[in-house]
Amino acid sequence: MELPGNLVAWAITRHELLRELLGDPRVSRDFRAHWPDHDRVGHDWPLSALVFLESFLNRYGEEHRRLRRKVTPAFTPGRIRRMEDTVRERARALVADIAAAAPGREVDLRAALARPLTMWVICELFGVPEDLRERLGTVMDAVVDTTVEPEEVLAQQMELLTCLELLAEHKRAHPAEDLTGDLLLPSDGEPLPHADLIGTLLLMIGAGYETTVNLIANAVHALLAHPGYRDRLVAGSLAAEEVVEESLRLDPPAKYVPLRYAVEDIDLEGVLIRKGEPILVAFGAPGRDPDLNPDRPEAFDPDRASKEHLAFGHGAHFCVGAHLGRMEARVALEELFTALPELALSEEGRELDRIPSFLINGPLRVPAVPHPTG
Ligand code: HEM
């Protein structure tokens, strides 16, 4: 596959192979150790924010495990369960604002629910001050656009780094018991190097926000496009979890999370990936792979018995925030459709414009009418 900047990478799209490679120590995300050509692409490359991110996402082996352990305790199922009531309260307040729309008026559910809810949750977890939140959300949205020109890429990266530096500075001046505070604490007697602190803040806030906002937008849109399932959710005969899981299978928010590299030559049934060559894993593909889900893989059907997917990855880099993302989406659906059982798309059957990115999969807007009948 040819990536921006004329870089050629192997794209892995079949479920079985993808699972195998994600669990294989011959595949690494560490660009310094395992991608000899990494300095041939410039920092104005649209993928550089993710590919050269200084954090455990791009580390290998024991170093990856050691750094990842710093954040995982905050995302266990028990910790996430304890957060649910406050997330629900926030979702309810946002839905109440949507419900206040006049009869027949259109509301964009991405802007009015998915975005503010996910941004609020991640900013609360990391103690992002109020006056920085909107600025951070705007630049996070901009960096996933893979169609922008090099000058714009550099300007966005500067803005992103400025926001994160401001956050780190603020937290040093105002220590608090939040996840940024945890990252500032030394572990094994060593503080996290500054570049890793900024990179880890970017990884956690970016991964926590940009994916979950699209999961909610995709799941809400799928229900509105299939009002029979919406009615069953409202009546209590379809669980929101099933809708979330089917949405993850059919429309995964993270299509690709570049890049990986072959640590040594890898022979895939006669196809040779040479040591040092870049590999792009298509997290968006397995859910629709007919070998995995043979029954109408392209259809939205929350009743299907098996909804297997790799939307949260697999192996050493499996998503840290999977329980949190699932919980936020389930709560958003429950609150939205309990308060607004007649919520409908503004224009039935209209294709929605998508985020201009091959990394992220979601609609730019989800226009809906909260009170269609008035
Ligand atoms: C629906 C929501 C989400 C989706 C679809 C998603 C998807 C993914 C995927 C596919 C990966 C694997 C990347 C790879 O192996 O290359 C990943 C990793 C990661 N995710 Fe998520 N994610 C979601 C929510 C979250 C949330 C809420 C957080 C944190 C607050 C988070 C934090 C992370 C982190 C830190 C990693 C890197 C793990 C590592 O390198 O060890 N994600 N995510």
Confidence at residue 304, expressed as pLDDT on a 0 to 100 scale? 96
Amino acid at 70: K
Choose which residue among 84, 312, 361 to substitute to test ligand 1 binding: the one with the highest number of ligand atoms within 8 A of its C-beta: 312
Residue 320 pLDDT > 60, yes or no?
yes
Q: Tell me how far the alpha carbon of residue 108 is from its chain's centroid.
A: 20
277-290 mean pLDDT: 96
Cα–ligand 1 centroid distance for 227 (angstroms): 30
User: How far apart are alpha carbons 246 and 306 in whole angstroms?
Assistant: 9
Q: Cα(212) to centroid of ligand 1, in Å?
A: 10
Q: What is the dihedral of CA 72, 30, 148, 134, to 10 degrees?
A: 20
Q: Which one of 1.10.630.10, 3.40.50.620, 3.40.50.720, 3.30.470.20 gives the CATH number of domain 43-254+320-369?
A: 1.10.630.10
Condensed to tens digits (0 to 9), the pLDDT of residues 192-218 reads 899 999 999 999 999 999 999 999 999
Question: From the CB of 325, is ligand 1 less than 6 Å away?
Answer: yes
d(Cα 243, Cα 233) in Å, to the nearest integer? Answer: 9
Given a cut of 70, whether residue 6 has pLDDT beyond it is: yes
95-125 confidence digits (pLDDT tens) = 999 999 988 899 999 999 999 999 999 999 9
Place of tokens 């629900």: 88
Q: What is the pLDDT of residue 4?
A: 87
> What percent of the chain shows pLDDT beyond 70?
100
- The Cα-based distances of 326 to 20, 131, 198, 233, 358 in angstroms read 25, 28, 26, 17, 22
d(CA 182, CA 42): 33
Count other C-beta atoms under 10 Å from residue 275's C-beta: 13
Is 70 exceeded by the pLDDT of residue 374? no
Question: For ligand 1, what atom is nearest to the CA of residue 22?
Answer: 15
Ligand 1 atom closest to Cα of 318?
Answer: 12
Does the pLDDT value for residue 136 go beyond 90?
yes
- Please identify, by atom number, the ligand 1 atom nearest to the C-alpha of residue 316: 41
List beta partners, residue 28: 261
Residue type, 157: Q
Q: Answer yes or no: is pLDDT of 220 > 70.
A: yes
* Ligand 1 pocket: which of 211, 241, 244, 280 to mutate (most atoms within 8 A of CB): 211
Domain extents in the chain = 43-254+320-369
Ligand 1 contact via 31 beta carbon (within 6 Å): no
Q: What confidence category does residue 131 fall into, taking pLDDT thresholds of 50, 70 and 90?
A: very high
Which burial class, exposed, middle or buried, applies to 142 when counting CB atoms under 10 A from its CB (0-12, 13-18, 19+)? middle
For residue 259, is the peptide bond before it cis, meaning its omega torsion is within 30 degrees of 0? yes
DSSP 247: H
CA of 63 to the centre of ligand 1 (A): 18
Cβ-proximal residues to 120 (8 Å cutoff; 6+ apart), any chain: 90, 133
Is the pLDDT confidence value at 82 over 90?
A: yes
**pLDDT at position 144:** 78
- 311 ligand 1 Cβ < 6 A: yes
Interatomic CA distance for residues 161 and 156, integer angstroms: 9
Residue 342 CA, ligand 1 centroid: distance in Å:
33
Q: Lowest-pLDDT range, 112-126, 135-149, 303-317, 343-357?
A: 135-149
Ligand 1 neighbour 320 (Cβ under 6 A): yes
211 in contact with ligand 1, CB cutoff 6 A: yes
Q: How many CB atoms lie within 10 A of CB 77?
A: 12
Q: Tell me the residue ranges of DSSP E strands in the chain.
A: 2-3, 7-8, 10-12, 27-28, 107-108, 260-262, 266-268, 271-273, 278-281, 344-345, 367-369
d(CA 165, CA 149): 24
257 ligand 1 Cβ < 6 A: yes
For 31-65, the pLDDT digits (tens) are 999 999 999 887 788 888 899 999 999 999 999 99
Which tokens go with 225?
Answer: 């496009």
272: Cα separation from own chain's centroid: 31
**Higher-confidence position of 249 and 40:** 249
The per-residue pLDDT of the chain, averaged, comes to 94
CB 99 within 8 A of CB 138: no
| In 100-226, alpha helices (H) | 109, 115-126, 130-143, 150-173, 179-184, 194-225
Is pLDDT at 261 greater than 80 in this prediction? yes
Single-letter code of the amino acid located at 306 = S
The DSSP H or E segment spanning 324 is: helix 322-339
Report CA torsion sign: 296, 300, 301, 305.
positive
Q: What share of the chain is helix, strand, coil (3-state, %, to 5)?
A: 55, 10, 35
Residue nearest atom 14 of ligand 1, based on CA coordinates: 317
The segment with the largest mean pLDDT, out of 70-79, 189-198, 221-230, 353-362, is: 221-230
Does residue 373 register a pLDDT over 80?
no
